[in-house]
Amino acid sequence: MPCGIDDTSVAATGIAWVRRAGPILAAVTVWQAWLQPAVAEGVADVAAIQRNHRVMNPREAAVLLADVRPAKLVYRPEEEIRALARLAKTTARAAEVELRIWLEHGLGEVAGHQERTVHLPPQSARTIEFTWPAGRAATHGNAVAIELRQDDAPPAVGRDVFSCVTNLWEMVIGAVPNGPAANSANYTREQILGQVRGWREQYCNVWEKYFWAPDDWGQLTVPANATWYSGQARRHEHTENLRFHVEASHAEGIAVVTYGKCTAGGPPGWEMARAKPQWFPTDAKGHTMGRPADVWDLDHWQEGESHAYSDYKYVWNYRCVDLRRLDALDHGIDQLIASTR
């Protein structure tokens, strides 16, 4: 894949699970993004905080618990667990509050209690980070819970859930990969982040990037800063936007999966069939097998800005590959391996 994804695991079904810890910059960007609707430039949007299902604040509180979340939806057992709490001071006087935070799992089991005193200047906001060492979470049913106490007021409380698994497929909630996930070149970075934030709000922890490659079998690599139309469905893709989408997802603990097929499609696939006819099986009439193509379509495949999508007769065309041949099989495997870099 053109996204620099590491640790690719290809299952027997042809599904490739690609995972990588997102870079710190991407993580910070996404964390800032989910806090902005509730607290911007130190001014709290009380109505937005009240709508937040993760927290509950007493009426007329001087300090609001704006949000609490684990840094990621899914952790691996060997990872340190991180959580962030956002506080907002809504009045003209400074205040000091006491925070208690802990991990929950199962039915009422708790661990990792922490306490902290926090000072907030007037009309201010602060983000507080908490960490727990690896091994403190259970496999399923985990949550971060927090309690904020100030003066004699009832406590503000918050809670949000996460998973800790070795095998992602034990706890999969799939996202709908439309919009930026389907045509990365057509959207801005902010729109891509918006989609990731939306998936996070729905607790989706995996999405599938399909139909992205110039050829899902024979060409699974593209150069940096490239823009192209994919070999299946003519999805409009951009290398750096696609990379950014994957990294932003990983920063939220959302995995990205893709796959490899045994059919050569789009202009690269048909060119491969011309150059390497011995790699493609034929029927009783000597014809290679698969879905038909139109010559005009192939000639104008990468001219999406000049032609409407409906101008193309076949947006999915391919030739079947003879995987009984080791040289053809090796080519597809080499492409899968190269796509992880």
pLDDT at 35: 44
Contact 110, 104 (CB under 8 A): yes
pLDDT at 5: 37
Q: Residue 78 and residue 75: Cα distance in Å, rounded? A: 8
Q: Which domain holds residue 210?
A: 9-21+172-338
Mean pLDDT computed over 41-62: 78
pLDDT in tens, 4-19: 333 333 332 233 333 3
Domain presence at residue 31:
no
pLDDT at 231: 95
Residue 302 has pLDDT above 60, yes or no: yes
- Please state the pTM of the whole predicted model: 0.82
Residue 91 has pLDDT above 90, yes or no: no
Q: How far is CA 172 from the centre of its chain?
A: 13
Task: Say yes or no: 142 and 204 in one domain.
Answer: no
Task: Say yes or no: 224 and 277 in one domain.
Answer: yes
Domain presence at residue 28:
no
pLDDT band at 43 (very low <50, low <70, confident <90, very high): low
Task: Say yes or no: 136 and 242 in one domain.
Answer: no
pLDDT at 44: 59
Domain presence at residue 255:
yes
Domain presence at residue 2:
no
Domain presence at residue 4:
no
Return the structure tokens found at 177.
């990969």
Close Cβ partners of 316 (under 8 Å, ≥ 6 residues apart): 232, 233, 265, 291
Domain presence at residue 17:
yes
pLDDT at 28: 34
Domain presence at residue 127:
yes
pLDDT in tens, 190-225: 999 999 999 999 999 999 998 999 999 999 999 999
> At which of 137, 167, 197 does a domain end?
167
How large is the angle between the packed helices 189-201 and 24-35, nearest 10 degrees? 70
pLDDT at 46: 67
